[in-house]
Structure 1
Amino acid sequence: MAKTALFAAFAEMAGALGSGRRAEIVDLLAQAERSVEQIANQLDQSVANTSHHLRILARAGLVTTRRDGNRIYYALSSDRVEQLWTAIRAVAEEHAAGLEKLARAYLGDRSELEALDRRTLVERMRRGEVVVLDVRPAVEYAAGHIAGARSLPISELRRRLRGLPDNADIVAYCRGPYCVYADDAVRQLREQGYRAIRLEDGFPEWKRAGLPVTVGSDAAPP
């Protein structure tokens, strides 16, 4: 019985991620803490449904809360939770049948989008050859971003294009390998004649690699 209970406790942790919506929440909170209302808005679902999923994640110990006035904010309990989510994705990429087709249906055809790896981006930033754009929402940029990157949320890109240099290579990044913001940014920039490419993954992978990160929103806007 004791062994069964122990392994059931392990399974409860995995079970908490046994929902696409809860996986999305973990992916979102890997970028920055958020209130239930902000999470619901990002996922385009009701606050009630979002609260239900958050309670399950909290019971499993995957998220923590803090109160600011009347609002409660949710965050991942530790970096290990993000690592768990990354490991699940990696196993699915290697073993889940049909995942590549599902990813292509969501992300679209990326064959025409040049991707830059982290090491190359570090070298090109050191030489001053590129402008790096963080196209995630501003709250995520403020929580942490690639050192030297500029904040230009995808929702504001077209309105603020004139602030970008037209004689430099632009590298856009967002939440990770399954985030469409950077892809959309690169396509929009190319339509306007800019030389644009995307980072092959995103900010969480950059941070885990121990590369330079800045917290706050004091970087000069484009």
Structure 2
Amino acid sequence: MDIRKFKTSLYKEMSGMTKALGNPHRLEILDLLAQGPAAVEYVALNTNLSVANASQHLQVLKNAFLVESEKRGKYNYYKLANKQVFETWCALRRLGFIQNEEINKLFNDFRKKRKHLKTISTDDLVKKIKTDSVVVVDVRPEEEFKNGHIENALSFPLMELREKISELPKEKEIVAYCRGPLCMMADDAVEFLNQNGYSGSRLEKGYPDWSAGSLPIERDECNQRKEKGKTQGSIY
């Protein structure tokens, strides 16, 4: 093979991977799978897709070597192929905010409607946790919480927050987090907390970013056995 054919073959293979990323549903699926392994049905439910459509998108990602699958009973579970896939998604997300004004406009316009929404950086949250001045709540669905969560965080799924809010102390700041900066569950939670007399703020990023930074995490005991051998700092 001459050099030109060699380079063309390499770039063709690379373009196949990037082509798989060129779909909004598949990007959302990657963001969801960054929370941990999920069945096709769960992916469909959380991306507002039919099971058949979600399965097709997952197959495209699998054929591009971006996700892997395994059989658990009668269900197919999918997960990101490795931490480099999550890092690539984060880099693409950063590039979008840097280069695309429309992304910033959409994001900022949404946030402006929530005038009292306070955000907190990862570094600041680490400091506040050390001084025991905050309560950290995970507002993702319980299944994602079990896959992994910030150490000592409490599970308060957004759909249950109204019923469980009285369990939270009003004398401390409540920091809510969710899947990441493009996920709005924490925004909804903070707005509800503030409306009910709590001092609420949202973590700027989400659980996958926290975990990827090798910060303290916990997992459900059953999932710990499944993930035995993985080091802290993995995205799961």
Q: Which TM-score band applies after superposition, normalised by the shorter structure?
A: over 0.9
* Amino acid in the other structure paired with 1:171: V
User: Is 1:178 matched up with 2:182?
Assistant: yes
CA deviation string 1:9-63 (max 9, x = no partner): 0111111111000000000000111111110011111111111111100000011
CA contact 1:170–1:195 (8 Å) conserved in 2: yes
User: Is 1:40 matched up with 2:49?
Assistant: no
Structure 2 equivalent of residue 159 of structure 1: 163
* Amino acid in the other structure paired with 1:133: V
Instruction: Kindly state the Cα deviation for residue 106 of structure 1 after the two structures are TM-superposed.
Output: 5.2
User: Is 1:66 matched up with 2:94?
Assistant: no
CA contact 1:186–1:198 (8 Å) conserved in 2: yes
Structure 1 equivalent of residue 25 of structure 2: 21
CA contact 2:111–2:117 (8 Å) conserved in 1: no
CA contact 2:36–2:79 (8 Å) conserved in 1: yes
Structure 1 equivalent of residue 16 of structure 2: 12
Distance 1:15 1:107, change over 3 A: farther
TM normalised by structure 1 equals 0.93
User: 1:82 and 1:71 mapped to 2: Cα distance?
Assistant: 24
SS in 2 for 1:98: helix
CA contact 1:32–1:139 (8 Å) conserved in 2: no
Distance 1:97 1:196, change over 3 A: closer
Cα RMSD after superposing both structures: 1.5
CA contact 1:141–1:217 (8 Å) conserved in 2: no
Q: 2:83 aligns with which of 79, 83, 86?
A: 79
CA deviation string 1:83-128 (max 9, x = no partner): 0100111111111231112224555635421111111111111111
CA contact 2:122–2:210 (8 Å) conserved in 1: yes
In the alignment, structure 1 segments of 5+ residues that lack a partner are none
User: Is 1:97 matched up with 2:77?
Assistant: no
User: Is 1:213 matched up with 2:217?
Assistant: yes
User: Is 1:57 matched up with 2:61?
Assistant: yes
Distance 1:53 1:108, change over 3 A: farther
User: 2:199 and 2:15 mapped to 1: Cα distance?
Assistant: 48
TM normalised by structure 2 equals 0.88
CA contact 2:158–2:189 (8 Å) conserved in 1: yes
Q: Percent identity?
A: 40
SS in 2 for 1:67: strand
In the alignment, structure 2 segments of 5+ residues that lack a partner are 223-236
User: 1:158 and 1:108 mapped to 2: Cα distance?
Assistant: 24
Distance 1:97 1:128, change over 3 A: closer
User: Is 1:137 matched up with 2:141?
Assistant: yes
User: 1:94 and 1:83 mapped to 2: Cα distance?
Assistant: 16
Q: Report 1:196-211 matches (<5 A).
A: 196-211=200-215
Instruction: Kindly state the Cα deviation for residue 136 of structure 1 after the two structures are TM-superposed.
Output: 0.7
User: 2:170 and 2:115 mapped to 1: Cα distance?
Assistant: 24
Distance 1:217 1:168, change over 3 A: farther
